[in-house]
């Protein structure tokens, strides 16, 4: 059984939002829901200032706090490590959104679309019924692509058709996806590097989404970074 | 740039935490009142507690995306504090309901005449009421990535505040009960004077706990604490919660208690209102200040995730 994981090289990320856009296109997420997003941060103080792009998505934690707090067992973890929400079981209590340290979960208030009174576009009308209003939505590494691809004998992380949309659309090739338990996979080799890190390991979540640092050109800084549009 | 308050759980959850705490607090006050011989006031307090706890669940359900499926929230008590809370609050509603029906209305004579059985039921309700107050603090206190909440003092603070707001509820309702039912006695007057003294101690403890709480969290969550102390929530914190919700009611109680006479109805009404408003505001503020820890990228820069 594979254990899917992703490595994002922050040095390669140019902040083009291609991952965010391709995720929206792939998953037809309604306004306000960005399962993959990029937080842009200006860090440091004059004259040592730098700009950092931090792409974020569900960390697919090995110990997901969102799963343990879920009162209805709507949040589940597959044997391959993918954490997903069973929308039929979700009652929309939002406790998982409170518990997730990475802001990776979104409450689907409504699916009114991007164009207000003009109604849904054909694309939205086709994609939105897949999301149940009043429930929580999150990134699941495009498990529909992984499952469909594997059923065809394709290899996620190698074959585009079986790989998450954000990975295949990253023009800087900052994202690498694959089986963390396969020592020959590119993703496992990247994770084995000394610089690879998890976001805030002190939370004890043990994420399967890892990062490579941007910091070779950035002096160590302790200033607050980018603020969210909202908390 | 100032941190942005937490906005996933807002006033409905604050109302849930507040009403569950106030209802449980009123039950605690009522039962302790009965243990010490103040039967009439104890009945008023118990009769107030159960409806408040029931009302609290309505706000929790109202906040759900799918309120019609609220009963499935009980499915994961092994790890989820919402499931555990569901069980605790349900048990409190059932046992408190039994106490109300068999002691107050409509079958009040059953437990009136059987002190042993009444005490047994009251001990169960008392335990569940304390568990409810503490649980409301644990519910958010276990979230490790929100350091402002992740503090063992939070359940203590919620317990103290719950009992104080329970007293506030009794203060608030006593003039109404007197006016509508004509229930008034020297016993209730004595009980109210004792409660004013007890509430002063509780408010003092609450003030000390808040001070310790903020001292502890300030180093771990300076931005969250800053929101309350000098940020956009500071007016509500200093003026609303500490001033109007803690200091002024304590002052009124001090003057009343010094008189040792039946507290004036207006004073009771004002004190009760302020205690209740302060309790609600405190939960609202604590919820709002529960912002996430910044994300640390190789300890070089920090990015706070959205929501």
Q: Is A137 on the interface with B (CB under 8 A)?
A: no
d(CA B112, CA A107): 50
Q: Determine how β-strand A4-9 pairs with β-strand A209-212.
A: parallel
Contact list in A for residue B6 (CB cut-off 8 A) is: 231
B151 touches chain A (CB under 8 A): no
The answer to whether ipTM exceeds 0.85 is: yes
Instruction: Nearest by CB to B75, from A39, A56, A71: name it.
Output: A71
Number of H helices and E strands in chain A, helices first, is 7, 9
Domains identified in chain A and CATH numbers: 4-217 (3.30.70.20)
Sign for the CA dihedral angle at B147, B149, B152, B153 comes to: positive
Looking at the complex, does the CB of residue A214 fall below 8 Å from at least one CB of chain B? yes
> Cα distance from B2 to chain A (closest Cα, Å)?
9
Domains defined along chain B, listed by start: 11-294 (1.20.1630.10)
Q: Identify which of B53, B221, B23 has the alpha carbon closest to the alpha carbon of residue A224.
A: B221
Q: Is the separation of the CB atoms in A19 and A169 below 8 Å?
A: yes
Scanning A82-121, the segments in alpha helix (DSSP H) are 95-99
pLDDT in tens, A27-85: 999 999 999 999 987 766 677 777 788 999 999 999 999 999 999 999 999 999 999 99
Q: How far apart are CA B191 and CA A174, in angstroms?
A: 70
pLDDT of residue A225: 39
Identify the helix (H) or strand (E) that includes residue B270: helix B265-289
Q: List, for residues A124-179, the tens digit of each pLDDT value.
A: 999 998 899 999 999 999 999 999 999 999 999 999 999 999 999 999 999 999 99
In tens digits, chain B (307 residues) has pLDDT values of: 678 999 999 999 999 999 999 999 999 999 999 999 999 899 999 999 999 999 999 999 999 999 999 999 999 999 999 999 999 999 999 999 999 999 998 988 898 889 999 999 999 999 999 999 999 999 999 999 999 999 999 999 999 999 999 999 999 999 888 877 766 678 888 899 999 999 999 999 999 999 999 999 999 999 999 999 999 999 999 999 999 999 999 999 999 888 877 788 899 999 999 999 999 999 999 999 999 998 887 644 555 565 4
Cα separation values, B249 from B157, B199, B257, Å:
18, 9, 12
Determine the 3-state secondary structure of A43 from DSSP: strand
Cβ-contact A96, A137 below 8 angstroms = no
Distance from CA of B87 to the nearest CA of A (A): 11
Measured between alpha carbons, how far is A202 from A124 in angstroms, rounded to an integer? 39
A167–chain B Cβ distance below 8 A for any pair: no
Q: What angle do CA A197, A203, A204 make, to 5 degrees?
A: 80
Mutation for testing the A interface, residue in B145, B226, B291, B294 having most A CBs under 10 Å? B145
Task: Write the residue in A54, A68, A91 that is nearest to B64 by C-beta.
Answer: A91
């Amino acid at each position: 059984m594979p254990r899917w994981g992703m490595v994002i090289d922050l040095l390669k990320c140019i902040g083009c939002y291609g991952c965010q856009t391709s995720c929206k296109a792939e998953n037809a997420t309604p306004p306000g829901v960005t399962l993959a997003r990029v937080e842009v941060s200006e860090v440091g103080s004059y004259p040592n200032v730098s700009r950092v792009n931090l792409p974020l998505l569900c960390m697919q934690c090995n110990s997901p706090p969102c799963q343990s707090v879920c009162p209805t067992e709507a949040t589940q973890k597959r044997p391959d490590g993918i954490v997903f929400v069973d929308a039929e079981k979700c009652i929309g209590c939002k406790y998982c959104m409170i518990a997730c340290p990475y802001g990776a979960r979104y409450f689907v208030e409504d699916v009114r679309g991007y164009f207000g009174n003009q109604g849904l576009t054909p694309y939205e009308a086709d994609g939105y019924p897949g999301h149940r209003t009043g429930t929580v939505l999150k990134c699941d590494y495009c498990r529909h692509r992984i499952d469909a691809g594997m059923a065809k004998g394709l290899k996620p992380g190698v074959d585009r058709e079986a790989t998450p949309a954000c990975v295949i659309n990253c023009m800087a090739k900052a994202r690498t996806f694959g089986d963390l338990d396969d020592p020959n996979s590119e993703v496992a080799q990247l994770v084995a590097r000394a610089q690879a890190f998890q976001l805030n390991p002190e939370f004890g979540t043990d994420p399967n989404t890892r990062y490579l640092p941007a910091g070779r050109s950035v002096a160590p800084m302790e200033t607050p970074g980018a603020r969210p549009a909202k908390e | 740039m100032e941190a942005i308050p937490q906005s996933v759980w807002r006033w409905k959850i604050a109302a849930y935490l507040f009403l569950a705490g106030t209802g449980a607090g009123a039950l605690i006050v009522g039962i302790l009142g009965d243990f010490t011989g103040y039967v009439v006031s104890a009945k008023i307090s118990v009769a107030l507690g159960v409806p408040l706890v029931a009302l609290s669940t309505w706000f929790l359900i109202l906040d759900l995306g799918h309120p019609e499926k609220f009963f499935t929230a009980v499915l994961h008590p092994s790890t989820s504090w919402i499931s555990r809370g569901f069980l605790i609050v349900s048990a409190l509603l059932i046992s408190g309901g039994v106490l109300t029906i068999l002691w107050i209305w409509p079958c009040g004579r059953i437990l009136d005449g059987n002190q042993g059985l009444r005490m047994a039921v009251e001990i169960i309700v008392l335990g569940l009421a304390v568990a409810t107050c503490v649980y409301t603090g644990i519910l958010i206190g276990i979230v490790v990535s929100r350091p402002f909440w992740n503090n063992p003092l939070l359940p203590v603070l919620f317990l103290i505040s719950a009992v104080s707001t329970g007293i506030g509820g009794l203060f608030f309702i006593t003039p109404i009960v007197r006016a509508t039912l004509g229930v008034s006695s020297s016993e209730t007057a004595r009980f109210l004077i004792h409660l004013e003294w007890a509430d002063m101690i509780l408010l003092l403890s609450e003030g000390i706990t808040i001070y310790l709480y903020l001292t502890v969290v300030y180093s771990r969550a300076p931005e969250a604490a800053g929101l309350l102390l000098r940020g956009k929530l500071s007016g509500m914190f200093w003026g609303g919660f500490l001033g109007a919700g803690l200091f002024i009611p304590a002052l009124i109680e001090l003057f009343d208690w010094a008189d040792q006479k039946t507290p004036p109805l207006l004073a009771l009404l004002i004190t009760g209102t302020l205690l209740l408003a302060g309790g609600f505001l405190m939960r609202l503020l604590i919820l709002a200040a529960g912002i996430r820890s910044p994300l640390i990228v190789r300890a070089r820069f920090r990015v706070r995730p959205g929501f």
